[in-house]
Structure 1
Amino acid sequence: MKRIARLLSIFASFSLLTVATAASAAEPPLKFGVGLFQPDREKNDATYRPLADYLSKKLNRPVELRTVDSWEGLAKSLANGETDLALMGPWGYVLANHQAGVQVISTILYDGKPEYFAITVTSPKSGINTLADLKGKTFAFGDKGSTSGYLIPLHHFMILGIDPEKYFSKVIHTSHQAIETQVTQGVLDAGADYNRNRNAMIEQGLIKAEDSKIIWTSAPLPNDAFAVSAALAGDKALIGKLQAALSETGEALKSNPKLLPPHYTGFVSRDNAFYKPIRDAGMATGKLQAK
């Protein structure tokens, strides 16, 4: 009888494990969207696929990576359900939160810090030393979903009483990498960027430090948000697992240094309040409307 009871116990445990495994396998993949941080999609995918694989393993659930070309597009994809999770710029997050209840759960750390800076760059040969020297010059913003490339410099120009369309001889919108490249080449007089991108491009040999000059730096801004769709935000168990997995990336980097791009050192749990400076700038510029 004892032997039969033991066999029944083993069979019951095996059945429960089989049911649990089947249930896990039946869960649909989580679609993980990232912005185009790198110069091209192929490199971007290669850079962020290790994080998608890591999360898949931690959550015991498939996580599919998808690169979205613009910050604005990423915000929309998270809002409309095309993606479930996203690593996105602060302004893109605030837009998605405001429009569709998307929720931040963690903020990425860069050299151990959860903040960065918007900058305005020019060439040392341009003769431009301050924002006042930009009148009548050509200027580049990032796409309209960019924090440092659009929202924050636009807000600062408004504070100074500058209307970009009237103040500059020409205004374009392009990628951060293109802004830095075209400014150093003298194709553009100046443009909006962020310190992390400029530093990375110098390190990678894409531009030379001596060909780039910073003429304005913002107050500290919250780093990129790891956010979830409104549909997932109510799943407290999943959110807890996600936050735990993200908080452990710092330790995981020791054995898997390619888990995050260079200088990214992990994540720290943050909520919507951390992004208030971005929300305030959005309201001040009229890009966000009070509900």
Structure 2
Amino acid sequence: MTLVPRLKPLLAAVGLSLLTLSASAQQLAPLKFGVGLFQPDKERNDATYRPLAQHLAAALGRPVELRTVDSWEGLAKSLANGETDIGLLGPWGYVLAHQSAKAQVVSTILYDGKPEYFAIMVTHPESGINNVADLKGRTFAFGDKGSTSGYLIPLHFFMSQGIDPDKYFSKLLYTKHQAIETQVVAGQLDAGADYNRNRNAMIEQGLIKAERSKIIWQSAPLPNDAVAVSEALFKDKAFVGKLQTALEAVGPLLKTQANLLPAHYTGFVNSDNAFYKPIRDAGLATGKLAPK
């Protein structure tokens, strides 16, 4: 009987130790880092962004699991439903994730030192197409419906011109950016929507020939891809600050660790939700985003 009172402090200490261990395990739980399909295939995409994931793991003192999500819409949903903690995703994907689950942007990626890029429409030299008016009755491809430059922005432009894509084109497709460029230069498609960064990269990598890809339309500048975190993580201001510091460090580190980002990407700059207002406005104007 006398052992029971003596055991109580010991059991309490053991219980406290277990709680401490449990808390430590939670702190060290891997962060799920979702990245959109910026490269032609998943394997290349994983290899391209693995150094960045490793950098974040070292800077944050926590394991980081990299996963490529093959559609912008899918990545937005994964950030919304908790399958992804941190996402590198297109502007429209970010706006969708913010709208549906209050995901929050913390940084914007820089391309040749700038936080902006352009949506474009491309054709091939023999198409006879020189402008949007020439597209009537031709075949055209959008990117997936979670894409900013491949879908939202060109759709917004068409609607501003009184064009209904379902009626304007003889055939309308939805596919991936790389497939659009490949099929256009091969003459399998008359034209399609893309973005300047992807076209430049495919030309530099020898995947398409510049002389086979002709730009017939370009948008106003658009905010670059966002690094966003889940609503739960955004509430942890210390974590957000640490993540932003880790991302800001990437630019200087590129001088000695060039593989941290693909060619032409030069780092990250701190950002907030207001920077993505042009994308939100386009979503509202096209009816693809419901007003709150």
Q: Does the alignment reach a TM-score above 0.5?
A: yes
**Alignment length (residue pairs):** 273
Structure 1 residue 275 and structure 2 residue 264: aligned? no
> How far did residue 253 of structure 1 move?
0.9
Unaligned runs of 5+ in 1: 1-19
Partner SS, residue 258 of structure 1: helix
Tell me the secondary structure at the aligned position of residue 112 of structure 1: coil
| Inter-partner Cα distance in structure 1 for 2:112 and 2:165 | 33
Q: Distance in 2 between matches of 1:22 and 1:113?
A: 43
Number of the residue aligned with 2:122: 121
Q: Which amino acid aligns with 1:183?
A: V
CA RMSD in angstroms comes to 1.4
Give the distance between the partners of 2:44 and 2:235, measured in 1 at CA: 33
Alignment of 1:66-81 (within 5 A): 66-81=67-82
Supply the distance in 1 between the matched residues of 2:173 and 2:232 (Cα, whole angstroms): 36
State the partner residue of 1:247.
248
Shift of 1:26: 4.5
Question: So what's the TM-score if we normalise by structure 1?
Answer: 0.92
The corresponding residue for 1:12 is: none
Counterparts of 1:35 and 1:278 in 2: how far apart (Å)? 18
Residue identity over aligned pairs, in percent, reads 76
Matches of 2:291 and 2:127 in 1, distance apart? Answer: 41
Q: Structure 2: where are the runs of 5+ without partners?
A: 1-19
Post-superposition CA distance 1:221-261 (Å, at most 9, x none): 00000000011010000000000010110011111110111
Which residue in the other structure is 2:111 paired with? 110
Distance 1:140-1:57 versus aligned 2 partners, 3 A rule: same
Asked whether the 8 Å contact 1:25–1:61 carries over to 2, the reply is: no
1:105 is aligned with what amino acid?
A: V
Q: CA deviation at 1:124?
A: 1.1
With the length of structure 2 as denominator, give the TM-score of the two structures. Answer: 0.91
Cα deviation, residue 22, structure 1 = 9.3
Please name the residue that 2:47 is paired with: 46
Partner residue, 2:144: 143
- After TM superposition, what 4+ stretches of structure 1 lie above 4 angstroms from structure 2? 20-26
Kindly state the Cα deviation for residue 24 of structure 1 after the two structures are TM-superposed.
5.4
Matched residues in 2 for 1:21 and 1:278: separation?
Answer: 44
Equivalent residues in 2 for 1:151-166 (5 A)? Answer: 151-166=152-167
